[in-house]
Amino acid sequence: MTRADDILTALEALRANDVATHGGRTLSYVYDSGLADADEIGRRALASFAGTNGLDPTAFPSLLAMENDLVRLAGHLLRAPDGFAGTVTSGGTESIMLAVLAARDDPKNSAAQRDSPSMVLPTTVHAAFHKAAHYVGVRPVFVNVDPVTFRADPAAMAAAVDGTTVLLVGSAPSYAHGVIDPITALADVAGEHGIRLHVDACIGGWVLPFLDGAPPWSFEIEGVSSISVDLHKYGYTPKGVSILLHRNASLRKSHFFAAADWPGYTMLNTTMQSTKSGGPLAAAWAVVRYLGLDGYRELAQVAREATVGLAEQIAERGLGLRPLVAPDSTLLAVTTTQDAGYDVFTLADEASSRGWLLSPQLPFRGGPPSLHLSLCAATAPRVEELLEVLAE
């Protein structure tokens, strides 16, 4: 056996080349509230439920109780109507795959939808939809977005709908550009054709409810059938928790899977995983209780103000940079001006050598390369430092 201390030292050493998970200088992949106590309670809950198994909620009713609490709160924030249903999943991609699966297997689908199911997507949807298309076998029909606002084009999406379409999708906001698609107009299109509309709010769904002035995007719009929202992003919880909400339980039913025709236990899964640790769920439950709605409101507003302020300063300071589009939430895409004399890839490398992760995004369908900045609360006090790094 190896001594515990030596193992912990080795683990620390393994992390030496990882980006920092805390401190506000890593602007994608991790989300830091800057509140050490919130992290601590999350870690303790994660550890104490690490060995529990969500495979069978009758054996672990604690997990079902926590799942129901989180789903209830999410329904409140996303303005879900009475009778809504929700499921906790392992992350945004799993929520999206289940939303696509549920649309594909809707018992009301016509023969054409069953034979060759397709979904109409703005080109800016998260790559999780490409993955869902591949895994679940639903043909993706990509529709260009407005080249100036980077928002979905409802008329073009309407024109792309045909008898095989089972799902429309919009983002709130999109990952790459940080803008909210015109969900009300997309809901009209979905309503006219009697098809589902999923809103991918994986990254914005725990921020936008706390901000003033965002356009409507959640269940208050009648035609929205399902929404994904990740707690392991702006819920500031440890990784491994997203929530998929459906307007009603019958829309959700087709992503359940049951199998009893084998010699073991009856398997009844609401998600893709079977055995799953209750750790991330317990951690999310703990952090959400700790922060509460007031805590989240403050964190969201701090991150939003920092995002707007950074966008303004980038535009004003003559650094050779400009926001690609005004941010609707807490995500910012930044590109170089024509006379910059350098490119975003060099800038990303230089920032990295100064301890900042600013992820480059490749040119896409006529748009320029850009840097992706997801601002969390812990980045807010570092905006000036970031501007100095960019200037350097």
Ligand X SMILES: Cc1ncc(COP(=O)(O)O)c(C=O)c1O
Minimum CB–partner distance for residue 188 and ligand X (Å): 22
Phi then psi for 51, rounded to 5 degrees? -95, 0
Residues 152 and 323: their CA atoms lie apart, in Å, by 19
Closest to ligand X by CB, 28 vs 116, is 28
Q: Which is nearer to ligand X, 201 or 389 (CB)?
A: 201
How far from 282 is each of 40, 121, 241, 303, CA to CA, in Å? 13, 34, 10, 25
| 247 touches 21 (CB < 8 A) | no
Cα→Cα distances 176→22, 183, 237, 370, Å: 22, 18, 22, 9
**Cβ-based nearer residue to ligand X, 329 or 336:** 329
User: Which residue is nearest to ligand X, using beta carbons?
Assistant: 92
Whichever of 332 and 389 has its CB closer to ligand X, that residue is 332
Q: How many residues does the chain have?
A: 392
Rounded to a whole number of angstroms, the minimum distance from the CB of residue 200 to ligand X is 5
Is the CB of 99 or the CB of 251 nearer to ligand X?
99
The nearer residue to ligand X, 93 or 113, going by C-beta atoms, is 93
Q: 296 by DSSP, 3-state: which?
A: helix
With CA atoms as reference, report the closest residue to 300 among 194, 375, 385. 375
For Cα atoms 178, 222, 199, give the angle at the middle one, nearest 5 degrees: 30
> What is the rounded CA–CA span in Å between residue 203 and residue 216?
16
> Nearest approach, Cβ of 93 to ligand X (angstroms)?
3
Phi-psi sector, 281: left (phi>0), alpha (psi -120 to 50), beta: alpha
91 versus 122: smaller Cβ distance to ligand X: 91
**Minimum distance from CB of 42 to ligand X (Å)?**
16
Least spacing, CB of residue 199 vs ligand X, in Å: 10
State the minimum distance, in angstroms, from the CB of residue 295 to ligand X: 22
Minimum distance, C-beta of residue 113 to ligand X, in the bound complex (Å): 24
Residues within the interface to ligand X (CB under 6 A): 91-93, 126, 128, 171, 175, 200, 202-203, 230, 242
* Strand boundaries in the chain, DSSP class E: 85-89, 118-122, 139-143, 165-171, 196-200, 226-230, 242-246, 257-259, 267-269, 321-323, 331-336, 359-361, 370-374
Nearest approach, Cβ of residue 171 and ligand X (Å): 5
- Amino acid present at 248: N
Nearer to ligand X, 63 or 172 (CB): 172
In angstroms, give the least distance from the CB of 176 to ligand X. Answer: 9
Nearest to 321 by CA among 307, 312, 334, 308: 334
Compare residues 136 and 389 and give the one whose CB is closer to ligand X: 136
Tokens of 372: 């992706």
Which is closer to ligand X, CB of 31 or CB of 356? Answer: 31
User: φ and ψ at 336, to 5 degrees?
Assistant: -85, 150
Longest dimension (CA), the chain: 69
Cα 59 to Cα 254: distance, rounded to the nearest angstrom: 24
CB of 46 to ligand X, least distance (A): 17
Q: Is the peptide bond before 147 cis (omega within 30 degrees of 0)?
A: no
